[in-house]
Chain A
Amino acid sequence: MSTVSEIKETTSVELALKGTETIELTGSQAVLEALIAEEVNTVFGYPGGAIMPIYDALYDYNDRLNHVLVRHEQGGIHAGQGYARSSGKVGVVFATSGPGATNLVTGLADAMIDSTPLVCITGQVFAHLLGTDAFQETDVVNITTPVTKWNYQITDATEIPHILAKAFYIARTGRPGPVLIDITKNAQLQKIHYKGYSKCEHIRSYRPKPIVRKEYVEAAAALINQAKKPFVVFGQGVILGNAEAEFRKFIEKGGLPAAWTLLGLSALPTDHPLNVGMLGMHGNYGPNVLTNECDVLIAVGMRFDDRVTGRLDKYARQAKIIHLDIDPAEIDKNVKADVPVWGDCKETLPLLTRLIQQQNRSEWLHTFSELTRKEQEVVILDELHPKTEALSMGEVINLLNEITNGEAVVVTDVGQHQMVACRYARFNRSRSNITSGGLGTMGFALPAAIGAKFGAQDRAVVAVIGDGGFQMTLQELGTIMQTGVDVKILILNNQFLGMVRQWQDLFNDKRYSFVNIQSPDFVQLAKAYGISGRSVKQRADLKTALQGMLDHQGSYLLEVYVGKENNVFPMVPQGCSVSEIRLK
């Protein structure tokens, strides 16, 4: 049998395994071997006492695993999410026990609700100390149960290869989600007879994809073929299923107007003639109004979030609902489906496309463009070309589009700037929009942008962030400094917690309660981290400043002061139906 020291010389355990039955490895080495076998090239993490054996092993894997040292575990997990969303691969995060693990919770909840594949590995105290309130001991498995797709505690290293294989399989298959594996320190140190790693292909109690029922596909096709005013609403399922091409063929053959949820954005190019815009609370006028006029509503890989549907008892009551989803629990959860099409949309969409008739629904499409025109006149024109002295968020995004040509990955935080960026950013490619949708996590964008760049190194990554959200995770500027990762940071500073202020303006008689937020000098702050930057207040400087940011070699921070009390419109007020959307 080979020894551990021999492995280092052969550089690869797989190589060392040739000709031998087993090899002696520590649990920590087995963890890293699993990551390599799963083709993980980047890990985001932060060391600490209970995960030290894994970090010690990592010292010898530096040539095969790129570890990004973040400044806070929340930053680490958001980076993992950004990486997963831009690359389509599983994001991997390391954290230590206790506070390290609890700092992951926000990111886990975010990844759970936005179906992001992650494998988080946390260190844990020695198995014999579990339950004794040991130093940095916390019950991570139970804390994270509601916010993980699956989690597991390893107390014996012999389980490591098998459990990690399961973790990756569960994280990426079916409806993806975060998995957390908690490994006690004794298991990390324990020596095992390692037999090599085999990927998990099947878990008997887990069915990632429901069986496609042909009769429902046929019923759905019949409904679409009879429809006069069919309307497609699509979500991230199209992106997660890598079904962008299948989706395009489907809507193109049926002549079906399609609107996107916040997370469905970029699955269909902005310029596509059937792309009728954004759904929901700050979505476009046409898709919201016509939700209540269509005769067949076809939902693809979306979950009818309340920010999309508005008041449920007044949501598309006139329409027959077809719902395509991989997760059977989503069918009928919020909106009752007349025809449920269970399955992976990569498989179900082509089946459906084959059965639908080629149609050109120009009259119905015209209804959308009429409403778009109205929105243009009342909202969009003023937002993109304001007559005010103060800059608008929309005009910044509009100029950004001109410079990036819709090729950049745009990562947004949460709030007004997020809604404006998602409304006006233009995209040619999928996996270009990364934002915290379901959980609405302020502070998401900066670390997620770092991860997104590691996941898509050939693409420009622009993080659009508000002055409030930036201050929640700005410590990650340190990660940018140390790794030299190229992230463009665009702060839209309205000197307010803008979205809350907007609600206080509209619904609380302008009683601005604790939304007036002060900020440091962001440019000076960036400078302290060795990041170049500029602050802009004048319209005349905006374009050159944006161009300068994108042309700059390496990271750059651009702060743009925008109108303090601008509101985002259109808006579906809470408790109202989508067709009661307000243009002002």
Chain B
Amino acid sequence: MRTEYTITVYTENQVGLLNRIAIIFSRRKINVESLNVSPSEVSGIHRFTIVIYETEEVVSKICRQIERQVEVLKAYYNTNDQIIWQEMALYKVPTDAVAEKMKVERLLRECGARAVVIRKDYTIFETTGQREETDKLIQVLEPYGLIEFVRSARVAIIKASSGFHDKIKEFEAIAPSEELVENEYLDQPRDIFTM
């Protein structure tokens, strides 16, 4: 049965790894519903959070293919009940609509939103929560002239993750991360014949 799985991947921080991981999905024509790349609690170790809609058999094979990559430390997959997850959303609405209609303010309070920016012409609200919560606010704001909406990728924490945390800390202590080398020459065009 296909369901929503959150894949958590611990990796080195290297240029090109995002593509290596992304093509594991695209090769099988699997749509990535959400993708977030961020540092982890251990410096030098990065963490991908990927959401796909698939069967357990497929997602478990995908995780093994991800773990095969040289710069990947570990990949986990979890169903939604095994993780704590959140997404953040921003909403831009005309300020007059917010200021004039008390109803909007009340609804925002009910949805746990907060104002990030209040300008004469527009106001930006932010809310953090699960999909239904951020979706609900769209519906609420739409009649009042929602100008722009954006939602972040999912970030998730695995409920039972303490074991791995100790391992990667130990791991980083034994062999510290290598330095990331980027192209330093892009802004230094030089006068050389290129052939």
Contact = CB atoms under 8 A, between A and B. Distances in A.
B13 to A, nearest CB: 11
A282 B37 CA distance: 47
Given A141-B16, A150-B70, A327-B68, A134 B184 contact: no
Contact of A128 (B61, B174, B190): B190
A204 B194 contact: no
A149 B68 CA distance: 9
A324 to B, nearest CB: 16
Contact of A130 (B27, B72, B186): B186
In terms of DSSP, what is the predominant structure of the interface of chain B?
A: loop
A76 B78 CA distance: 45
Contacts of B67: 328-329
Contact of B16 (A145, A170, A327): A145
B117 interface: no
A155 B194 contact: no
Contacts of A329: 61, 64-65, 67-68
Nearest to B73: A205
Interface residues of B, number: 33
B149 interface: no
Interface string B64-82: 1101101111000000000
Nearest to A154: B181
A130 B192 CA distance: 14
Nearest to A132: B189
Contacts of B186: 127-128, 130-131
A506 interface: no
Interface in A9-54: 49
B61 A142 contact: no
Nearest to A169: B70
A267 B17 CA distance: 36
A128 B185 contact: yes
Given A146-B23, A155-B183, A329-B61, A135 B194 contact: yes
A186 interface: yes
B12 interface: yes
A314 B183 CA distance: 53
A129 B70 contact: no
Contact of A125 (B70, B71, B194): B194
Contact of B185 (A155, A205, A332): A155
Contact of A203 (B20, B23, B70, B188): B70
Contacts of B20: 145
Given A134-B194, A156-B181, A327-B68, A202 B175 contact: yes
Interface in B1-53: 11-12, 15-16, 19-20, 23, 27
Interface string A182-224: 0011100000000000000011111000000000000000000
A221 B11 CA distance: 36
Interface in A133-171: 134-135, 141-142, 145-146, 149-153, 155-156, 159, 170
Contact of A328 (B64, B71, B181, B188): B64
B194 to A, nearest CB: 6
Contact of A156 (B16, B184, B187, B195): B184
A205 B19 CA distance: 17
Contacts of A159: 181
B183 A205 contact: no
Contacts of B185: 126-128, 155, 184, 186
Contacts of A511: none
A333 B23 CA distance: 18
Given A203-B70, A329-B64, A329-B65, A129 B194 contact: yes
A545 B65 CA distance: 50
Contacts of B16: 141-142, 145, 151-153
Interface in A390-419: none
Query: Among the interface residues A142, A170, A204, which one has the most CB atoms of the partner chain B within 10 A?
Result: A204
Contacts of B64: 328-329, 331, 333
B11, B27, B186 — most chain A CB neighbours (10 Å): B186
Contacts of A205: 11-12, 70-73
A367 to B, nearest CB: 34
B184 A155 contact: yes
Contacts of B15: 153
27 contacts: A49-B194, A126-B190, A127-B184, A128-B188, A128-B189, A128-B190, A129-B194, A130-B186, A131-B186, A135-B194, A145-B23, A146-B27, A151-B16, A153-B16, A155-B181, A155-B185, A170-B70, A202-B175, A204-B171, A205-B70, A205-B71, A205-B73, A206-B71, A328-B67, A329-B64, A329-B65, A331-B64
Interface of B: 11-12, 15-16, 19-20, 23, 27, 60-61, 64-65, 67-68, 70-73, 171, 174-175, 181, 183-190, 192, 194-195
Interface of A: 49, 125-131, 134-135, 141-142, 145-146, 149-153, 155-156, 159, 170, 184-186, 202-206, 327-329, 331-333
Given A127-B185, A151-B16, 15 more contacts: A49-B194, A125-B194, A128-B187, A128-B190, A130-B186, A135-B195, A142-B19, A145-B20, A146-B23, A184-B185, A204-B175, A328-B68, A329-B61, A329-B64, A333-B61
